[in-house]
């Protein structure tokens, strides 16, 4: 195991028949780090996570958790991981406390310690007072907390969270993000999410997968700095026919994408794109330009630059 590393994947490959889902994937997660795992649908994120948590065996490469080789000593590696899948495997007819007690038993927590383990995981997941409630009667946000509590039941040093805020409303997402942030102070976390704003808030470093390979493994600040030198992002408000604006702006040299978002147009382009050329195209088309501003590089712009062909 590399010194100063809690999780390590090295040269990991997985095939399904003739299809290569993950190819030569290598990255590390440091102790106490919240690492973001990003990639479009089909990039290999879920396959990579399943190999890490032990539910899939790689065809090649090594996976280590702490000092445990996940292929040679799978039980020891799994003991060090708490896994929260995207769709939590919950039993809606069970009470919260009974379910977590059952999870503690499955995880090998000694009988005499299960009550303590259940109480600790409920407090950590913000479930105080919900013990007697049936899981199926809880809100989506609280069911996510139960899924998080089961991942914590055996007090693992590593958490793997796959889309922990999927399907939640904005208030619930904020609550779960605060929980993850707090847990990240004492644990190593691998976080998979499609919400780049969430990753930016919680993670200092990210791994980006594309077509089963690692496209980047860098600090967020490094990726955004590179994007700042390579791409231009503008936000405009125009008066007149928005469809015409999208068409004429899209024809400007250097423009790569024009999107309608609420009452704004978001323009993304290469570093050579001239904002004044965009403004001139709008005016020449007989449209009004109410506002135009340049937006600093973001994780989104860096991510799109990595995964778009």
Q: pLDDT tens, 256-274?
A: 989 998 788 999 887 778 8
For the segment 189-218, the average pLDDT, to the nearest whole number, is 92
Q: pLDDT tens, 78-134?
A: 999 999 998 778 999 999 999 999 999 999 999 999 999 999 999 999 998 999 999
pLDDT given for residue 197 in this prediction? 85
Q: How far apart are CA 145 and CA 88, in angstroms?
A: 10
pLDDT given for residue 255 in this prediction? 93
**Ramachandran quadrant class, 56 (left: phi over 0; alpha: psi -120 to 50; beta: rest):** beta
- Within 8 A by CB and 6+ apart from 31, the residues are 4, 5, 6, 157, 188
What stretches of 125-243 adopt beta strand conformation (E)?
A: 158-162, 188-192, 205-210, 213-219, 231-239
Q: How far is CA 81 from CA 66, 99, 160, 241, 261, in A?
A: 10, 19, 7, 54, 40
Q: How far apart are CA 267 and CA 47, in angstroms?
A: 34
Q: How far apart are CA 292 and CA 184, in angstroms?
A: 39
pLDDT given for residue 230 in this prediction? 67
SS3 call for 125? coil
Q: How far apart are CA 84 and CA 155, in angstroms?
A: 13
For the segment 217-222, the average pLDDT, to the nearest whole number, is 88
Distance between terminal CA atoms of the chain?
Answer: 35
Burial of 223 (0-12, 13-18, 19+ CB in 10 A): buried
For the segment 132-161, the average pLDDT, to the nearest whole number, is 95
Contact 19, 66 (CB under 8 A): no
Topology at the third CATH level for domain 7-219: Rossmann fold (3.40.50)
Topology at the third CATH level for domain 225-307: Alpha-Beta Plaits (3.30.70)
User: pLDDT class for 277, splitting at 50, 70, 90?
Assistant: very high
Q: Structural domain boundaries of the chain? A: 7-219, 225-307
Give me the phi and psi of 250, to 5 degrees please.
-60, -20
Pick the more confident residue, 27 or 198. 27
Question: Does pTM top 0.75 for this prediction?
Answer: yes
Burial of 217 (0-12, 13-18, 19+ CB in 10 A): middle
User: pLDDT class for 296, splitting at 50, 70, 90?
Assistant: low
- Within 8 A by CB and 6+ apart from 215, the residues are 39, 208, 209, 306, 307
């Amino acid at each position: 195991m590399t010194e100063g590393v809690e999780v390590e994947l090295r040269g990991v490959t997985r095939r399904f028949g003739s299809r290569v889902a993950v190819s030569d994937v290598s990255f590390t997660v440091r102790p106490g780090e919240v690492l973001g795992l990003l990639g479009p649908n089909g990039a290999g994120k879920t396959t990579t996570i399943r190999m890490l948590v032990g539910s899939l065996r790689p065809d090649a490469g090594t996976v280590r958790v702490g000092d445990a080789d996940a292929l040679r000593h799978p039980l020891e590696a799994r003991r060090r991981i708490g896994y929260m899948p995207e769709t939590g495997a919950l039993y809606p007819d069970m009470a919260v406390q009974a379910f977590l007690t059952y999870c503690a038993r499955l995880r090998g927590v000694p009988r005499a310690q299960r009550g303590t383990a259940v109480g600790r995981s409920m407090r950590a997941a913000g479930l105080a007072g919900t013990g007697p409630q049936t899981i199926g009667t809880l809100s989506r946000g609280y069911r996510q907390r139960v899924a998080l509590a089961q991942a914590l039941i055996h007090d693992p040093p590593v958490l793997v969270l796959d889309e922990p805020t999927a399907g939640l409303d904005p208030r619930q997402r904020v609550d779960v993000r605060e929980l993850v942030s707090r847990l990240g102070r004492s644990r190593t976390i691998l976080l998979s999410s499609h919400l780049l704003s969430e990753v930016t808030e919680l993670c200092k470093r990210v791994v980006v997968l594309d077509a089963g390979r690692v496209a980047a493994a860098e600090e967020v600040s490094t990726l955004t700095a590179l994007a700042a030198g390579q791409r231009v992002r503008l936000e405009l408000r125009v008066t007149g026919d928005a469809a015409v604006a999208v068409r004429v702006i899209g024809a400007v040299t250097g423009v790569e994408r024009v999107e309608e978002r609420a009452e704004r147009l978001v323009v993304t382009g290469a570093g050579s794109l001239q904002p004044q050329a965009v403004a001139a195209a709008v005016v020449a088309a007989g449209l009004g330009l109410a506002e135009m501003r340049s937006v600093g590089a973001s994780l989104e712009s860096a991510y799109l630059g990595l995964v778009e062909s």
